[in-house]
Chain A
């Protein structure tokens, strides 16, 4: 549940964020209208407006002169501002290094329309490289593999000519400059700091734009003899020594929203531009595939999704959300496991308690049945001794007749017939005794209840068949008052008999000593339940309240465990019925219980 809430919250935040973006987009300046003749040219400038003006001023002036219908403006942009400007369509054209160009091409669909060229300079497609330098006296640093684990210094991680180009070379030699160096320091501009740091020994390895070394040396800012270039090779054109392969020069690109007419006008104007003070002019756009290759090799920029570190970065970028989600997931999982565990444990506990209660009840029932049997023991003993005594008599009778016959060496047909008949009678009596024993054993045996659709009247009849012989000598009249038919109930036969026997036994004991002991068992129905009662004209409550009567171990009898009625109640209630006691109209007690009518069944 909490996860869902977290997700909803997340979604709402994301929605707010999107709305915010849209609002910013709408609030951003609308693209310059051609008719307004305002054309903004964004320029990547790491070092601010002056540099940009210095580098691109001639181009701007040429464009303004060639295309007077437009008012061109240079907008110097740092790397971050450049992103925003392109995204927010604040500019119509962008002049940037190949790295930024490729990234914006991928991100915002900008398209190059011209590439910078220098008269007498390198090919525009091979104009930019990086110089990786060390102190010349560091004899231990001579090739790429020597640089691993050393202290590295560069101007900025965003510079294409410089760190990024060198990065690829490091990578191709198995070195990750972000991870494998003792240290990595970005000094920022001016570039001279790099050479100073390496010369001082503050850093072991420096990365500079190609030609930076030569330019600074020409100005006398540094002593080039102090340094050596790793894997140095000269560029064509300017002859600068570089460590890397070479990449195309800066492009001028139109943004996605810039009209093709304007783009064509600008492109034609650029191509017609004569070389200026620095020999700078423009040529048709070159292929920037090599830049793409670099980005792909390093898995950065548009190819950052290829980067293995991508996940780490994503994780870092979305750390709060991911943490929240992870926490939510972990919490959810823990909660789930805990709930499952608790559920399992509770279920087990419940099952255990249930089975304990069930066993407890079973034991109690068993004890109660034994107790009831105990109370009826003398009656049962008499009941069993009757057939046994009869068997003994028949057997002795046969024995005597046989002895008499053998002594007389003669046996009459009639005495033979007598003995055959008696043998049959012996069998019948043995069966009679055995039936009583079975009946008792069934009654006291532990067994699971087995509810069946029963006819209460029939169960009462059977119970009386068993019970009446047991109390025949007691001068108690027991009679049943049953309607011709009763609706069926669903009950366990033995348990129902047990309830009936308990109530009958109690009633018979209650009338013991009463001159005309009378026990009446009756049954009727109210349409929902079958109501079964046992009424007596005995001595009444024997000091117990009607409620106490049904509690275990409360007994009004000198012998007996007091389990009978509590057991009756537990059985009746387990069958969905109710049992209660009340004073009879003519004295004595009436014990009544109900059993719900079995629905949709017939006996």
Chain B
């Protein structure tokens, strides 16, 4: 596992003791922690793409936990978010969960519950990261195709025979075969079925 694959737990809390103690607790089960005193600080230092979990206080001076969640969602984050709060604020919890938060924990919380949630969050984040990486790879491969090859790819993925494609694009069947070969090669697939699955992942 490379450094980039190791999940990292981000703790964002304005309270120094809270932040430090959370890092200590989370560290006890072997996770790497990165602590930030504010949402702004976190956003400025965070490098997306690495799987992980964000444990954030929902109420903070300046940018709140929910603001941070919104900002991360806009950036297409793969981080899972767990909110912790000192106030049992149900409307806020509902908003947070709808916006994709894994959980909403009230302080002081059961350590096992937090660590379990962090475990879930890390798994989800890892999947999301893999998915995102795959998407990025597919998109990258797609970007390597010429417009003619894109047109052929769409029709191949749609299950159309070469003869039909040659007729639709008003090119020879031989030319379609060359394009099809290039597309398969560039996209790293060996069959039309594989190609179709790849495209499905890309546009769910």
Q: Mark A residues whose CB is within 8 Å of B.
A: 378, 381-382, 385-394, 396-401, 404, 418, 422, 425, 428-429, 432, 472-473, 475
> B111–A389 contact, CB under 8 A?
no
Least CB distance from A434 to B in Å reads: 14
| Given contacts A381-B86, A385-B108, A390 and B28 within 8 Å (CB-CB) | no
A241 to B86 CA separation, bound complex (whole angstroms) = 133
> B25–A396 contact, CB under 8 A?
yes
> B21–A389 contact, CB under 8 A?
yes
State the total of A-B contacts with C-beta under 8 angstroms.
Answer: 79
When A and B form their complex, which 9 residue pairs have the shortest distance between CB atoms, in order from nearest? A393-B21, A396-B111, A389-B107, A400-B28, A389-B108, A390-B17, A390-B21, A397-B24, A382-B86
> B28–A386 contact, CB under 8 A?
no
A560 to B203 CA separation, bound complex (whole angstroms) = 56
> B17–A472 contact, CB under 8 A?
no
Contacts of A397 in B (CB 8 A): 21, 24-28, 111
A473 to B22 CA separation, bound complex (whole angstroms) = 20
A388 to B106 CA separation, bound complex (whole angstroms) = 12
> A378–B15 contact, CB under 8 A?
no
Contacts of B25 in A (CB 8 A): 393-394, 396-397, 400
Question: Which residue on chain A has the smallest CB distance to residue B62?
Answer: A475
The 8 Å CB contact of A392, one of B28, B60, B61, B111, is B111
> A472–B22 contact, CB under 8 A?
no
Residue from the set B17, B27, B29, B61 with the largest chain A CB neighbour count within 10 Å: B17
Any A CB within 8 A of the CB of B20: yes
Least CB distance from B66 to A in Å reads: 12
A396 to B109 CA separation, bound complex (whole angstroms) = 11
| Given contacts A385-B86, A394-B24, A425 and B61 within 8 Å (CB-CB) | no
Residue from the set B20, B21, B25, B27 with the largest chain A CB neighbour count within 10 Å: B21
A390 to B16 CA separation, bound complex (whole angstroms) = 9
Least CB distance from A579 to B in Å reads: 30
> B111–A393 contact, CB under 8 A?
yes
Any A CB within 8 A of the CB of B14: yes
Any A CB within 8 A of the CB of B87: yes
Please name 7 pairs of A and B residues whose Cβ atoms are closer than 8 Å in the assembled complex, sorted by A. A382-B87, A390-B20, A394-B25, A398-B28, A400-B25, A422-B21, A428-B17
> B108–A394 contact, CB under 8 A?
no
Contacts of A381 in B (CB 8 A): 86-87
Contacts of A425 in B (CB 8 A): 17, 20-21, 24
Contacts of A389 in B (CB 8 A): 18, 21, 84, 86, 107-109
A381 to B88 CA separation, bound complex (whole angstroms) = 11
A392 to B86 CA separation, bound complex (whole angstroms) = 13
